[in-house]
Chains A and B, each alone.
Chain A
Amino acid sequence: MRSNTRPATRPAPQDVAAVETRRTARLPTAQLVALALPAALLVAWFVATDVAQLFRANQLPAPTQVLRTAADLAAGGDLFRHVSASIGRALAGFGIGATLALLVSVVVGLSKIVEQALDPTLQGIRSVPSLAWVPFLLLWMGIGETPRVTLIAIGAFFPVYVNLVSGIRNVDRKLVEVGYVFGLSRADLVRRIIVPAALPYLLTGLRVGLGQAWLFLVAAELIASVSGLGFMLIDGQNNARPDIMMVSILTLALLGKLSDGLLRTVERRALAWTDTFQGR
Protein backbone atom coordinates (compact mmCIF):
# COMPACT_ATOMS: atom_id res chain seq x y z
CA MET A 1 0.00 0.00 0.00
CA ARG A 2 1.10 3.42 -0.76
CA SER A 3 0.07 4.88 2.56
CA ASN A 4 2.55 2.60 4.30
CA THR A 5 5.48 4.53 3.02
CA ARG A 6 4.18 7.88 4.10
CA PRO A 7 5.33 9.31 7.42
CA ALA A 8 2.66 9.08 10.08
CA THR A 9 1.51 12.65 10.04
CA ARG A 10 -1.88 12.93 8.43
CA PRO A 11 -3.95 10.71 6.21
CA ALA A 12 -4.72 11.68 2.65
CA PRO A 13 -8.21 10.35 1.97
CA GLN A 14 -8.09 11.13 -1.74
CA ASP A 15 -5.02 8.94 -1.97
CA VAL A 16 -6.84 6.09 -0.33
CA ALA A 17 -9.73 6.51 -2.74
CA ALA A 18 -7.33 6.28 -5.66
CA VAL A 19 -6.02 2.99 -4.34
CA GLU A 20 -9.57 1.71 -3.93
CA THR A 21 -10.58 2.40 -7.52
CA ARG A 22 -7.41 0.84 -8.80
CA ARG A 23 -8.36 -2.26 -6.88
CA THR A 24 -11.81 -2.67 -8.39
CA ALA A 25 -11.44 -1.33 -11.93
CA ARG A 26 -10.09 -4.19 -14.00
CA LEU A 27 -8.91 -4.09 -17.55
CA PRO A 28 -11.96 -3.83 -19.81
CA THR A 29 -10.27 -5.96 -22.48
CA ALA A 30 -10.15 -8.91 -20.08
CA GLN A 31 -13.88 -8.57 -19.53
CA LEU A 32 -14.47 -8.43 -23.28
CA VAL A 33 -12.55 -11.65 -23.73
CA ALA A 34 -14.51 -13.19 -20.88
CA LEU A 35 -17.73 -12.40 -22.74
CA ALA A 36 -16.37 -13.23 -26.18
CA LEU A 37 -15.44 -16.77 -25.22
CA PRO A 38 -18.97 -18.09 -24.53
CA ALA A 39 -20.27 -16.05 -27.48
CA ALA A 40 -17.75 -17.74 -29.76
CA LEU A 41 -18.76 -21.14 -28.43
CA LEU A 42 -22.38 -20.32 -29.16
CA VAL A 43 -21.57 -19.24 -32.72
CA ALA A 44 -19.48 -22.37 -33.28
CA TRP A 45 -22.35 -24.48 -32.00
CA PHE A 46 -24.73 -22.67 -34.35
CA VAL A 47 -22.43 -23.07 -37.33
CA ALA A 48 -21.73 -26.73 -36.62
CA THR A 49 -25.41 -27.60 -36.38
CA ASP A 50 -27.78 -25.24 -38.18
CA VAL A 51 -25.37 -24.07 -40.86
CA ALA A 52 -22.96 -26.91 -41.64
CA GLN A 53 -25.19 -29.73 -40.34
CA LEU A 54 -22.21 -31.65 -38.96
CA PHE A 55 -24.28 -33.41 -36.31
CA ARG A 56 -27.57 -35.20 -36.46
CA ALA A 57 -30.32 -33.55 -34.44
CA ASN A 58 -30.63 -36.55 -32.11
CA GLN A 59 -26.92 -36.22 -31.30
CA LEU A 60 -26.42 -32.50 -30.88
CA PRO A 61 -29.49 -30.35 -31.31
CA ALA A 62 -29.07 -26.86 -32.76
CA PRO A 63 -29.18 -23.87 -30.44
CA THR A 64 -32.31 -22.63 -32.17
CA GLN A 65 -33.97 -25.96 -31.48
CA VAL A 66 -32.87 -25.87 -27.84
CA LEU A 67 -34.22 -22.36 -27.52
CA ARG A 68 -37.57 -23.43 -28.96
CA THR A 69 -37.75 -26.41 -26.60
CA ALA A 70 -36.88 -24.16 -23.69
CA ALA A 71 -39.63 -21.75 -24.68
CA ASP A 72 -42.12 -24.60 -24.97
CA LEU A 73 -41.12 -26.00 -21.59
CA ALA A 74 -41.33 -22.57 -20.07
CA ALA A 75 -44.75 -21.91 -21.58
CA GLY A 76 -46.08 -25.23 -20.34
CA GLY A 77 -44.86 -24.41 -16.82
CA ASP A 78 -42.64 -27.49 -16.74
CA LEU A 79 -39.39 -25.57 -16.74
CA PHE A 80 -40.48 -23.42 -13.83
CA ARG A 81 -41.61 -26.47 -11.88
CA HIS A 82 -38.31 -28.28 -12.36
CA VAL A 83 -36.19 -25.23 -11.71
CA SER A 84 -38.01 -24.30 -8.53
CA ALA A 85 -37.89 -27.89 -7.28
CA SER A 86 -34.15 -27.99 -7.85
CA ILE A 87 -33.49 -24.59 -6.32
CA GLY A 88 -35.56 -25.51 -3.28
CA ARG A 89 -33.63 -28.72 -2.75
CA ALA A 90 -30.25 -27.18 -3.37
CA LEU A 91 -30.92 -24.34 -0.97
CA ALA A 92 -32.37 -26.57 1.73
CA GLY A 93 -29.50 -29.05 1.47
CA PHE A 94 -26.90 -26.35 1.28
CA GLY A 95 -28.42 -24.47 4.20
CA ILE A 96 -28.55 -27.53 6.42
CA GLY A 97 -25.10 -28.82 5.41
CA ALA A 98 -23.40 -25.45 5.74
CA THR A 99 -24.99 -24.64 9.09
CA LEU A 100 -24.01 -28.00 10.54
CA ALA A 101 -20.52 -27.59 9.15
CA LEU A 102 -20.22 -24.17 10.72
CA LEU A 103 -21.08 -25.51 14.16
CA VAL A 104 -18.93 -28.63 13.91
CA SER A 105 -15.95 -26.73 12.50
CA VAL A 106 -15.96 -24.21 15.31
CA VAL A 107 -15.95 -26.98 17.92
CA VAL A 108 -13.30 -29.01 16.09
CA GLY A 109 -11.25 -25.92 15.27
CA LEU A 110 -11.19 -24.74 18.87
CA SER A 111 -10.25 -28.01 20.47
CA LYS A 112 -7.33 -30.23 19.64
CA ILE A 113 -8.94 -33.07 21.57
CA VAL A 114 -12.25 -32.89 19.73
CA GLU A 115 -10.35 -32.75 16.46
CA GLN A 116 -8.40 -35.88 17.28
CA ALA A 117 -11.57 -37.66 18.29
CA LEU A 118 -13.82 -36.54 15.46
CA ASP A 119 -11.78 -35.64 12.43
CA PRO A 120 -10.67 -39.15 11.34
CA THR A 121 -14.29 -40.31 11.19
CA LEU A 122 -15.38 -37.23 9.31
CA GLN A 123 -12.54 -37.61 6.83
CA GLY A 124 -13.58 -41.22 6.35
CA ILE A 125 -17.14 -40.20 5.58
CA ARG A 126 -15.85 -37.48 3.30
CA SER A 127 -13.98 -39.93 1.12
CA VAL A 128 -17.17 -41.84 0.25
CA PRO A 129 -18.09 -40.91 -3.34
CA SER A 130 -21.42 -39.13 -3.55
CA LEU A 131 -23.25 -41.75 -5.56
CA ALA A 132 -22.36 -44.44 -3.08
CA TRP A 133 -24.67 -42.80 -0.57
CA VAL A 134 -27.72 -42.97 -2.77
CA PRO A 135 -28.79 -46.59 -2.23
CA PHE A 136 -28.32 -46.32 1.50
CA LEU A 137 -30.15 -43.05 1.83
CA LEU A 138 -33.03 -44.54 -0.13
CA LEU A 139 -32.97 -47.61 2.08
CA TRP A 140 -32.99 -45.60 5.29
CA MET A 141 -35.20 -42.74 4.36
CA GLY A 142 -37.42 -44.11 1.65
CA ILE A 143 -38.12 -42.18 -1.50
CA GLY A 144 -39.08 -38.60 -0.97
CA GLU A 145 -37.43 -35.29 -0.35
CA THR A 146 -35.55 -36.38 2.78
CA PRO A 147 -32.88 -38.57 1.15
CA ARG A 148 -32.32 -36.00 -1.61
CA VAL A 149 -31.88 -33.07 0.71
CA THR A 150 -29.70 -35.21 2.96
CA LEU A 151 -27.44 -36.12 0.07
CA ILE A 152 -27.06 -32.46 -0.89
CA ALA A 153 -26.37 -31.54 2.72
CA ILE A 154 -23.60 -34.14 2.84
CA GLY A 155 -22.15 -32.61 -0.30
CA ALA A 156 -22.26 -29.08 1.07
CA PHE A 157 -21.00 -30.02 4.53
CA PHE A 158 -17.46 -31.10 3.78
CA PRO A 159 -16.06 -28.17 1.79
CA VAL A 160 -17.31 -25.81 4.49
CA TYR A 161 -15.97 -28.04 7.25
CA VAL A 162 -12.53 -28.58 5.76
CA ASN A 163 -12.03 -24.93 4.89
CA LEU A 164 -13.31 -23.46 8.11
CA VAL A 165 -11.30 -25.80 10.33
CA SER A 166 -8.12 -24.90 8.52
CA GLY A 167 -9.21 -21.26 8.60
CA ILE A 168 -9.60 -21.37 12.35
CA ARG A 169 -6.26 -23.09 12.73
CA ASN A 170 -4.68 -20.38 10.60
CA VAL A 171 -5.91 -17.51 12.73
CA ASP A 172 -2.95 -15.46 13.82
CA ARG A 173 -2.16 -16.22 17.47
CA LYS A 174 -1.20 -12.61 17.85
CA LEU A 175 -4.75 -11.51 17.15
CA VAL A 176 -6.14 -14.09 19.53
CA GLU A 177 -3.88 -12.64 22.22
CA VAL A 178 -5.48 -9.25 21.67
CA GLY A 179 -8.71 -10.93 22.69
CA TYR A 180 -7.07 -12.46 25.76
CA VAL A 181 -5.63 -9.14 26.82
CA PHE A 182 -9.10 -7.65 26.92
CA GLY A 183 -10.41 -10.63 28.87
CA LEU A 184 -12.85 -11.81 26.21
CA SER A 185 -14.98 -14.80 27.10
CA ARG A 186 -14.61 -17.91 24.99
CA ALA A 187 -17.83 -17.19 23.10
CA ASP A 188 -16.78 -13.61 22.43
CA LEU A 189 -13.36 -14.77 21.33
CA VAL A 190 -15.01 -17.00 18.73
CA ARG A 191 -17.52 -14.38 17.64
CA ARG A 192 -15.29 -11.33 17.61
CA ILE A 193 -11.90 -12.68 16.61
CA ILE A 194 -11.78 -16.26 15.41
CA VAL A 195 -14.75 -16.32 13.03
CA PRO A 196 -14.01 -12.92 11.43
CA ALA A 197 -10.36 -13.84 11.04
CA ALA A 198 -11.33 -17.17 9.44
CA LEU A 199 -13.96 -15.53 7.24
CA PRO A 200 -11.92 -15.75 4.01
CA TYR A 201 -11.71 -19.52 4.47
CA LEU A 202 -15.36 -19.76 5.44
CA LEU A 203 -16.44 -17.96 2.29
CA THR A 204 -14.24 -20.13 0.12
CA GLY A 205 -15.78 -23.14 1.84
CA LEU A 206 -19.27 -21.82 1.20
CA ARG A 207 -18.55 -21.27 -2.47
CA VAL A 208 -17.11 -24.73 -2.97
CA GLY A 209 -19.92 -26.14 -0.83
CA LEU A 210 -22.55 -24.51 -2.99
CA GLY A 211 -20.90 -25.94 -6.09
CA GLN A 212 -20.98 -29.36 -4.45
CA ALA A 213 -24.63 -28.86 -3.56
CA TRP A 214 -25.50 -28.49 -7.26
CA LEU A 215 -23.37 -31.50 -8.06
CA PHE A 216 -25.04 -33.68 -5.48
CA LEU A 217 -28.41 -32.30 -6.48
CA VAL A 218 -28.10 -33.81 -9.92
CA ALA A 219 -26.94 -37.08 -8.39
CA ALA A 220 -30.00 -37.02 -6.13
CA GLU A 221 -32.40 -36.19 -8.94
CA LEU A 222 -31.05 -38.68 -11.44
CA ILE A 223 -32.40 -41.42 -9.25
CA ALA A 224 -35.97 -41.89 -8.13
CA SER A 225 -37.21 -38.44 -8.81
CA VAL A 226 -40.19 -36.91 -10.57
CA SER A 227 -39.08 -33.33 -10.70
CA GLY A 228 -35.98 -31.16 -10.93
CA LEU A 229 -33.33 -30.49 -13.52
CA GLY A 230 -31.69 -33.85 -12.91
CA PHE A 231 -35.02 -35.51 -13.64
CA MET A 232 -35.34 -33.44 -16.84
CA LEU A 233 -31.97 -34.74 -17.90
CA ILE A 234 -32.80 -38.37 -17.36
CA ASP A 235 -36.28 -37.85 -18.82
CA GLY A 236 -34.76 -36.32 -21.96
CA GLN A 237 -32.42 -39.28 -22.23
CA ASN A 238 -35.23 -41.82 -21.84
CA ASN A 239 -37.31 -40.10 -24.51
CA ALA A 240 -34.38 -39.51 -26.89
CA ARG A 241 -34.74 -35.76 -26.58
CA PRO A 242 -31.21 -34.28 -26.45
CA ASP A 243 -32.75 -30.83 -26.75
CA ILE A 244 -34.44 -31.28 -23.37
CA MET A 245 -31.17 -32.57 -21.94
CA MET A 246 -29.45 -29.51 -23.31
CA VAL A 247 -32.01 -27.19 -21.72
CA SER A 248 -31.43 -28.93 -18.40
CA ILE A 249 -27.65 -28.67 -18.67
CA LEU A 250 -27.67 -25.05 -19.72
CA THR A 251 -30.08 -24.16 -16.92
CA LEU A 252 -27.82 -25.93 -14.43
CA ALA A 253 -24.84 -23.99 -15.72
CA LEU A 254 -26.78 -20.76 -15.49
CA LEU A 255 -28.00 -21.43 -11.95
CA GLY A 256 -24.58 -22.54 -10.78
CA LYS A 257 -22.98 -19.48 -12.21
CA LEU A 258 -25.64 -17.15 -10.81
CA SER A 259 -25.48 -18.57 -7.31
CA ASP A 260 -21.69 -18.49 -7.33
CA GLY A 261 -21.78 -14.91 -8.57
CA LEU A 262 -24.07 -14.04 -5.70
CA LEU A 263 -21.69 -15.57 -3.17
CA ARG A 264 -18.76 -13.85 -4.85
CA THR A 265 -20.46 -10.52 -4.38
CA VAL A 266 -21.03 -11.33 -0.72
CA GLU A 267 -17.41 -12.39 -0.48
CA ARG A 268 -16.12 -9.20 -2.04
CA ARG A 269 -18.19 -7.07 0.28
CA ALA A 270 -17.41 -9.05 3.41
CA LEU A 271 -13.71 -9.24 2.70
CA ALA A 272 -13.09 -5.65 1.66
CA TRP A 273 -10.77 -5.37 4.66
CA THR A 274 -8.27 -7.99 3.56
CA ASP A 275 -4.85 -6.87 2.51
CA THR A 276 -3.89 -9.74 0.27
CA PHE A 277 -2.45 -10.18 -3.16
CA GLN A 278 -5.20 -9.57 -5.71
CA GLY A 279 -3.36 -10.63 -8.85
CA ARG A 280 -1.78 -8.16 -11.19
Chain B
Amino acid sequence: MSSTIRIERVSKSFKAGQPVLHDLNLEIRPSEIVSLLGPSGCGKSTLLRLLSGLERDHAGRLLVDGQEIVAPSRAVGFMFQEPRLLPWLTVRDNITFGLQVRDRRQTEPLVRELIEQVQLGECADLLPRQLSGGMAQRVALARSLATQPGVLLLDEPFSAVDALTRMRLQELLLSVWQRRRFTMLLVTHDIDEALYLSDRVAVLSGRPATVREIVHVDLPRPRDRRAQEMLQQRAHLLEALRVAGSNQLTGYGTPFGV
Protein backbone atom coordinates (compact mmCIF):
# COMPACT_ATOMS: atom_id res chain seq x y z
CA MET B 1 0.00 0.00 0.00
CA SER B 2 2.83 2.40 0.45
CA SER B 3 5.11 3.36 -2.38
CA THR B 4 8.60 4.52 -3.11
CA ILE B 5 9.14 7.91 -4.68
CA ARG B 6 12.24 8.59 -6.73
CA ILE B 7 13.02 12.03 -8.02
CA GLU B 8 16.00 11.78 -10.35
CA ARG B 9 17.75 14.88 -11.70
CA VAL B 10 14.51 16.70 -12.23
CA SER B 11 14.60 20.14 -13.82
CA LYS B 12 11.66 22.26 -14.76
CA SER B 13 11.16 25.66 -16.24
CA PHE B 14 8.02 27.39 -17.36
CA LYS B 15 7.67 28.78 -20.85
CA ALA B 16 8.75 32.34 -20.35
CA GLY B 17 10.96 32.18 -17.33
CA GLN B 18 14.05 31.07 -15.58
CA PRO B 19 14.32 27.48 -14.40
CA VAL B 20 12.32 26.68 -11.30
CA LEU B 21 13.85 23.31 -10.40
CA HIS B 22 17.37 22.32 -11.29
CA ASP B 23 18.79 18.81 -11.10
CA LEU B 24 16.76 17.91 -8.06
CA ASN B 25 17.25 14.49 -6.50
CA LEU B 26 15.29 12.92 -3.68
CA GLU B 27 14.34 9.40 -2.77
CA ILE B 28 11.57 8.57 -0.35
CA ARG B 29 11.13 5.11 1.14
CA PRO B 30 7.78 3.39 1.63
CA SER B 31 5.82 4.80 4.58
CA GLU B 32 8.34 7.56 5.06
CA ILE B 33 7.24 11.10 5.86
CA VAL B 34 9.34 13.79 4.24
CA SER B 35 8.80 17.53 4.48
CA LEU B 36 9.95 20.09 1.96
CA LEU B 37 11.03 23.42 3.36
CA GLY B 38 12.33 26.28 1.28
CA PRO B 39 12.03 29.94 0.47
CA SER B 40 8.77 31.16 -1.02
CA GLY B 41 8.59 30.79 -4.77
CA CYS B 42 11.44 28.30 -4.98
CA GLY B 43 9.36 25.60 -6.63
CA LYS B 44 7.98 23.38 -3.87
CA SER B 45 4.44 23.40 -5.21
CA THR B 46 5.78 22.87 -8.70
CA LEU B 47 7.63 19.74 -7.57
CA LEU B 48 4.50 18.39 -5.92
CA ARG B 49 2.38 19.14 -8.96
CA LEU B 50 4.90 17.35 -11.16
CA LEU B 51 4.70 14.33 -8.89
CA SER B 52 0.92 14.32 -9.06
CA GLY B 53 0.94 14.58 -12.83
CA LEU B 54 -0.82 17.96 -12.81
CA GLU B 55 2.22 19.64 -14.29
CA ARG B 56 4.24 18.23 -17.19
CA ASP B 57 7.23 18.88 -19.42
CA HIS B 58 10.16 18.38 -17.12
CA ALA B 59 13.62 16.99 -17.57
CA GLY B 60 14.71 14.01 -15.50
CA ARG B 61 12.66 11.21 -14.07
CA LEU B 62 9.85 11.04 -11.54
CA LEU B 63 9.08 7.53 -10.40
CA VAL B 64 6.47 6.10 -8.09
CA ASP B 65 7.14 2.43 -7.42
CA GLY B 66 9.44 2.41 -10.41
CA GLN B 67 6.70 3.71 -12.72
CA GLU B 68 7.30 6.97 -14.50
CA ILE B 69 4.58 9.51 -13.84
CA VAL B 70 2.87 10.51 -17.07
CA ALA B 71 -0.60 11.52 -15.92
CA PRO B 72 -2.51 11.86 -12.66
CA SER B 73 -3.36 8.52 -11.14
CA ARG B 74 -5.29 7.17 -8.23
CA ALA B 75 -2.07 5.77 -6.79
CA VAL B 76 -1.00 9.30 -5.87
CA GLY B 77 -3.24 11.30 -3.59
CA PHE B 78 -3.03 15.06 -3.53
CA MET B 79 -4.15 17.46 -0.87
CA PHE B 80 -4.24 21.09 -1.90
CA GLN B 81 -3.60 24.12 0.23
CA GLU B 82 -7.30 24.93 0.05
CA PRO B 83 -9.94 22.25 0.64
CA ARG B 84 -11.27 22.49 -2.94
CA LEU B 85 -14.44 20.65 -2.02
CA LEU B 86 -17.11 20.43 -4.68
CA PRO B 87 -19.72 22.79 -3.28
CA TRP B 88 -22.70 20.87 -4.69
CA LEU B 89 -21.77 17.59 -3.01
CA THR B 90 -22.31 16.65 0.60
CA VAL B 91 -19.38 15.79 2.83
CA ARG B 92 -19.88 12.08 2.15
CA ASP B 93 -20.13 12.53 -1.61
CA ASN B 94 -17.05 14.71 -1.61
CA ILE B 95 -15.14 12.02 0.21
CA THR B 96 -16.18 9.32 -2.23
CA PHE B 97 -15.67 11.56 -5.25
CA GLY B 98 -12.53 9.82 -6.45
CA LEU B 99 -13.97 6.34 -6.15
CA GLN B 100 -15.25 4.58 -9.20
CA VAL B 101 -19.00 4.05 -9.04
CA ARG B 102 -18.67 0.31 -9.49
CA ASP B 103 -16.35 0.19 -6.47
CA ARG B 104 -18.77 2.11 -4.29
CA ARG B 105 -20.31 -0.88 -2.56
CA GLN B 106 -17.11 -2.65 -1.66
CA THR B 107 -15.45 0.55 -0.50
CA GLU B 108 -18.40 1.45 1.72
CA PRO B 109 -16.76 0.15 4.93
CA LEU B 110 -13.55 1.95 4.09
CA VAL B 111 -15.40 5.21 3.56
CA ARG B 112 -17.26 4.83 6.83
CA GLU B 113 -13.99 4.19 8.61
CA LEU B 114 -12.38 7.22 6.98
CA ILE B 115 -15.25 9.46 8.01
CA GLU B 116 -14.84 8.24 11.57
CA GLN B 117 -11.09 8.72 11.47
CA VAL B 118 -11.36 12.34 10.44
CA GLN B 119 -14.16 12.78 12.98
CA LEU B 120 -16.84 13.85 10.56
CA GLY B 121 -19.46 11.27 11.50
CA GLU B 122 -22.08 13.85 12.43
CA CYS B 123 -21.68 16.02 9.37
CA ALA B 124 -21.61 13.50 6.55
CA ASP B 125 -24.73 15.07 5.05
CA LEU B 126 -23.73 18.71 5.32
CA LEU B 127 -22.73 20.82 2.35
CA PRO B 128 -19.27 22.43 2.14
CA ARG B 129 -20.67 25.90 2.80
CA GLN B 130 -21.83 24.69 6.19
CA LEU B 131 -18.34 23.67 7.27
CA SER B 132 -15.62 25.53 9.11
CA GLY B 133 -12.17 25.80 7.56
CA GLY B 134 -10.72 23.00 9.65
CA MET B 135 -13.68 20.71 8.98
CA ALA B 136 -13.37 21.34 5.26
CA GLN B 137 -9.69 20.46 5.36
CA ARG B 138 -10.49 17.20 7.12
CA VAL B 139 -12.98 16.36 4.38
CA ALA B 140 -10.26 17.09 1.84
CA LEU B 141 -7.90 14.77 3.68
CA ALA B 142 -10.46 11.98 3.73
CA ARG B 143 -11.18 12.51 0.05
CA SER B 144 -7.54 12.22 -0.92
CA LEU B 145 -7.23 9.01 1.10
CA ALA B 146 -10.43 7.34 -0.07
CA THR B 147 -8.79 5.93 -3.17
CA GLN B 148 -6.17 4.34 -0.90
CA PRO B 149 -3.19 5.91 -2.59
CA GLY B 150 0.29 4.63 -1.80
CA VAL B 151 1.56 8.18 -1.84
CA LEU B 152 0.00 11.27 -0.34
CA LEU B 153 1.27 14.65 -1.47
CA LEU B 154 0.30 17.61 0.67
CA ASP B 155 0.86 21.24 -0.29
CA GLU B 156 0.77 23.40 2.84
CA PRO B 157 -2.35 21.55 3.92
CA PHE B 158 -2.90 23.24 7.27
CA SER B 159 -1.54 26.71 6.63
CA ALA B 160 -4.97 28.33 6.58
CA VAL B 161 -6.21 27.24 10.01
CA ASP B 162 -5.44 28.56 13.47
CA ALA B 163 -2.50 27.22 15.47
CA LEU B 164 -4.52 24.97 17.73
CA THR B 165 -6.57 23.46 14.91
CA ARG B 166 -3.36 22.95 12.97
CA MET B 167 -1.87 20.88 15.78
CA ARG B 168 -5.03 18.80 16.00
CA LEU B 169 -4.98 18.23 12.26
CA GLN B 170 -1.33 17.19 12.40
CA GLU B 171 -2.13 14.65 15.08
CA LEU B 172 -5.07 13.46 13.05
CA LEU B 173 -2.92 13.09 9.94
CA LEU B 174 -0.41 11.02 11.90
CA SER B 175 -3.10 8.82 13.37
CA VAL B 176 -4.49 8.08 9.91
CA TRP B 177 -0.97 7.49 8.62
CA GLN B 178 -0.24 5.09 11.46
CA ARG B 179 -3.06 2.86 10.24
CA ARG B 180 -2.46 3.13 6.52
CA ARG B 181 1.26 3.79 6.25
CA PHE B 182 1.15 5.67 2.96
CA THR B 183 4.29 7.50 1.89
CA MET B 184 4.00 11.23 2.52
CA LEU B 185 5.66 14.20 0.92
CA LEU B 186 4.58 17.43 2.52
CA VAL B 187 5.30 21.04 1.65
CA THR B 188 5.20 23.38 4.58
CA HIS B 189 6.42 26.77 5.76
CA ASP B 190 6.07 25.78 9.35
CA ILE B 191 9.31 24.41 10.82
CA ASP B 192 7.49 23.01 13.83
CA GLU B 193 5.07 21.16 11.60
CA ALA B 194 7.96 19.68 9.63
CA LEU B 195 9.67 18.58 12.83
CA TYR B 196 6.57 17.17 14.40
CA LEU B 197 5.55 15.13 11.36
CA SER B 198 8.58 14.09 9.37
CA ASP B 199 11.25 11.45 9.35
CA ARG B 200 13.33 13.74 7.19
CA VAL B 201 13.17 17.39 6.26
CA ALA B 202 14.54 18.40 2.87
CA VAL B 203 15.59 22.04 2.75
CA LEU B 204 15.50 23.46 -0.75
CA SER B 205 17.65 26.30 -2.00
CA GLY B 206 16.18 29.36 -3.67
CA ARG B 207 15.41 29.37 -7.38
CA PRO B 208 16.28 27.24 -9.20
CA ALA B 209 15.67 24.80 -6.41
CA THR B 210 17.84 21.86 -5.51
CA VAL B 211 17.95 19.91 -2.28
CA ARG B 212 20.33 21.89 -0.15
CA GLU B 213 20.30 19.86 3.00
CA ILE B 214 18.49 16.90 4.48
CA VAL B 215 17.82 16.86 8.20
CA HIS B 216 16.94 13.57 9.83
CA VAL B 217 14.48 13.73 12.66
CA ASP B 218 15.12 10.51 14.55
CA LEU B 219 12.61 10.98 17.31
CA PRO B 220 10.00 8.42 18.29
CA ARG B 221 6.33 9.21 17.83
CA PRO B 222 4.24 10.61 19.38
CA ARG B 223 6.64 13.48 19.66
CA ASP B 224 6.73 16.08 22.36
CA ARG B 225 6.66 19.43 20.62
CA ARG B 226 8.68 21.01 23.41
CA ALA B 227 11.34 18.33 23.83
CA GLN B 228 14.94 19.54 23.99
CA GLU B 229 15.92 17.64 20.83
CA MET B 230 13.12 19.30 18.92
CA LEU B 231 14.35 22.72 19.89
CA GLN B 232 17.86 21.90 18.77
CA GLN B 233 16.66 20.58 15.43
CA ARG B 234 14.53 23.66 15.10
CA ALA B 235 17.49 25.99 15.48
CA HIS B 236 19.42 23.90 13.00
CA LEU B 237 16.65 24.02 10.41
CA LEU B 238 16.15 27.71 10.87
CA GLU B 239 19.82 28.24 10.13
CA ALA B 240 19.68 26.00 7.04
CA LEU B 241 16.66 27.90 5.78
CA ARG B 242 18.34 31.23 6.36
CA VAL B 243 21.31 30.14 4.28
CA ALA B 244 19.01 28.82 1.57
CA GLY B 245 17.06 32.07 1.59
CA SER B 246 20.10 34.31 1.50
CA ASN B 247 21.40 32.29 -1.42
CA GLN B 248 18.27 33.27 -3.23
CA LEU B 249 18.97 36.98 -2.89
CA THR B 250 22.52 36.84 -4.19
CA GLY B 251 22.49 33.80 -6.41
CA TYR B 252 21.41 33.08 -9.90
CA GLY B 253 17.76 33.47 -10.82
CA THR B 254 16.48 35.63 -8.03
CA PRO B 255 12.87 36.70 -8.07
CA PHE B 256 13.99 40.30 -8.39
CA GLY B 257 16.28 39.60 -11.31
CA VAL B 258 19.25 41.02 -9.36
Contact = CB atoms under 8 A, between A and B. Distances in A.
Contact of A16 (B52, B88, B126): B126
A195 to B, nearest CB: 10
Contacts of A275: 87, 128-129
B67 interface: no
B40 interface: no
Contacts of A1: 129-130
A22 interface: no
B123 A196 contact: no
Contacts of A273: 87-89, 127-129
B84 A175 contact: yes
A178 B86 contact: yes
B134 interface: yes
Interface of A (DSSP majority class) = helix
B72 A7 contact: no
Nearest to A273: B88
A180 interface: yes
Contacts of A28: none
A259 interface: no
Is the interface on chain A under 10, 10 to 19, 20 to 34, or 35 or more residues? 20 to 34
Interface in B77-91: 77-78, 80, 82, 84, 86-89
A174 B78 CA distance: 13
B138 interface: yes
Nearest to A16: B130
Contact of B132 (A4, A177, A193): A4
B122 A181 contact: no
Contact of B165 (A5, A7, A10, A178): A7
A177 B97 CA distance: 13
A6 B126 contact: no
B215 to A, nearest CB: 29
Nearest to A6: B132
A124 interface: no
A38 interface: no
Interface of A: 1, 3-8, 10-11, 13, 16, 19, 174-175, 177-178, 180-183, 192-193, 196-197, 199, 272-275
Interface of B: 52-54, 71-74, 77-78, 80, 82, 84, 86-89, 97-98, 122-123, 126-135, 137-138, 144, 147, 161-162, 164-165, 168
5 contacts: A4-B133, A8-B133, A180-B72, A181-B52, A274-B87
